[in-house]
Amino acid sequence: MKNMIVLIVDLYRRNRFHLRAALVTGLTVFLITLVMPNKYKATVSVLPSGVLGKGGKNGLAAAASVIGISMGGMSDADDSYQDILESRVMGEKLMSKTFEYGEKYFIWEKPKRVQKTLYQYLDEDNRDYAFKALSGVININRDFKTKLLTVNVQTRSPELSQAIAQTMLKELDEFVNSVNDSMDTEKIKYANSQLVEAQVNLGKAESRFKAFLLNNRNYSVTGDPEIHLKGIDLENEVTFWQQLVTQVKLSREQAISDAKERIPKVAILDSGTLPINKNQPKRTLFTVAGLILGWIGSWYLRNRAGVHKWVVDAYAGKGIEV
């Protein structure tokens, strides 16, 4: 035991400069992290699904492009979710909303209730800068294998992180529903207009055929080829419009049926629970890194002459001047 104590004391005497440097550096890093605000991360997850119905990728992409959301290159309908959430339109809408939450900057402060927009939270008056700064708060990832969409929101307030994450889900759900409703309405509206047009043309064709039959009832067996051909043309025209009216009616009924059967909901796996533990800063990790760097730095200062000589010798061995 006595020899062990002597060994420890001897090691301390030889390395006390390094230990002091490491402790000073580690303590400095720790004090710096103390003035850094705690940040809390809320996470929401969206499952891949066919909630866009038969409109699919192309339908949503076409509708979204009207408001300036580009979805080029996406492989399926679920890819559009990330494009929507990352769009400038959604960003502006989100940053304009007012959130109420508890906020504190330093860890020793008591939280105070505030009402702020994200513009005020980001402390950016310029909308372009604010939108860029939003990427530091919100991170959106999509697993290419499972197609699971994950939205991570990190702010100084656990309440604000949760509120932003849940608001993004709500905005996504409302956008998808509005696009689907708009598409269904347009399909039914178009089918109705086509049906009216077809019925009008059918009525005109029937009137022409009836007028022709008043004087040419036996057109099918008449010896006059001109009357025979004209009668067949008029009859075929009536048949064509009858078939078209039937087809358009079926298309309209299908559009109405699709609208009723559609499930207009974004499939949510995780709706975002209130974060309790901070996500950043990693004070322990930073402090340990500071201790290690302090030790390495002090060792270099004490041995820089030897290190320089070693480098010179290494290069000299290769015939390189230093």
- Do 284 and 204 fall into the same domain? no
- Do 59 and 137 fall into the same domain? yes
Token readout for 203 is: 């009525």
- Do 77 and 63 fall into the same domain? yes
- Do 269 and 229 fall into the same domain? no
- Do 112 and 18 fall into the same domain? yes
Inside any domain, residue 162: yes
Which of 32-46, 132-146, 196-210, 251-265 is predicted with the least confidence, judged by mean pLDDT?
251-265
Among the ranges 58-72, 77-91, 106-120, 233-247, which has the highest mean pLDDT value? 233-247
Token readout for 131 is: 């939108």
Among the ranges 99-103, 276-280, 284-288, 299-303, which has the highest mean pLDDT value? 99-103
Q: How many CB atoms lie within 10 A of CB 100?
A: 11
> Are 237 and 212 a contacting pair, CB within 8 Å?
no
- Do 129 and 250 fall into the same domain? no
233, 261, 289 - which closes a domain: 261
Q: Which pLDDT belongs to residue 322? A: 44
Phi then psi dihedrals of residue 86, to 5 deg: -90, 0
Inside any domain, residue 149: yes
Give me the mean pLDDT over the 134-140 stretch: 89
3-state secondary structure of 223: coil
- Do 170 and 284 fall into the same domain? yes
Residue 280 has pLDDT above 50, yes or no: yes
Residue 39 belongs to domain spanning: 2-183+265-297
Instruction: Give the ranges where 70-126 is alpha helix by DSSP (H).
Output: 79-85, 88-95, 118-122
Task: Say which DSSP state 66 is in.
Answer: T
Confidence band for 170, pLDDT divided at 50, 70 and 90: confident
- Do 122 and 190 fall into the same domain? no
Which of 54-58, 78-82, 85-89 is predicted with the least confidence, judged by mean pLDDT?
54-58
261, 279, 309 - which closes a domain: 261
> Are 80 and 57 a contacting pair, CB within 8 Å?
yes
What's the whole-number average pLDDT of the chain? 77
Residue 30 has pLDDT above 60, yes or no: yes
- Do 169 and 43 fall into the same domain? yes
DSSP bridge pairs for 113: 102
- Do 124 and 255 fall into the same domain? no
Phi then psi dihedrals of residue 264, to 5 deg: -85, 60
- Do 252 and 124 fall into the same domain? no
173 by Cβ neighbours in 10 Å (0-12 / 13-18 / 19+) ranks as: middle
Read off the pLDDT of residues 191-219 as tens digits, 9 standing for 90 and up: 888 888 888 899 989 898 898 888 888 88
Inside any domain, residue 302: no
**CATH number of the structural domain spanning residue 176:** 3.30.1890.10
Inside any domain, residue 156: yes
How far is residue 322's CA from residue 311's CA, in Å, rounded to a whole number?
A: 9
Task: Say which DSSP state 39 is in.
Answer: B
How far is residue 283's CA from residue 289's CA, in Å, rounded to a whole number?
A: 10
Q: Which pLDDT belongs to residue 3? A: 61
**Listed residue (127, 249, 114) closest to 191, CA to CA:** 249
Read off the pLDDT of residues 85-97 as tens digits, 9 standing for 90 and up: 888 888 988 998 9
Confidence band for 64, pLDDT divided at 50, 70 and 90: very low
- Do 31 and 174 fall into the same domain? yes
Token readout for 197 is: 């047009």
The pLDDT > 90 percentage for the chain reads 7
Q: Which pLDDT belongs to residue 213? A: 86
Residue 51 has pLDDT above 70, yes or no: no
208-245: b (≥16 Cβ within 10 Å) or e: ebeebeeebeebeeeeeeebbeebeebbebbeebeebb
Which position has the token pair 């730095």? 297
How far is residue 146's CA from residue 78's CA, in Å, rounded to a whole number?
A: 11
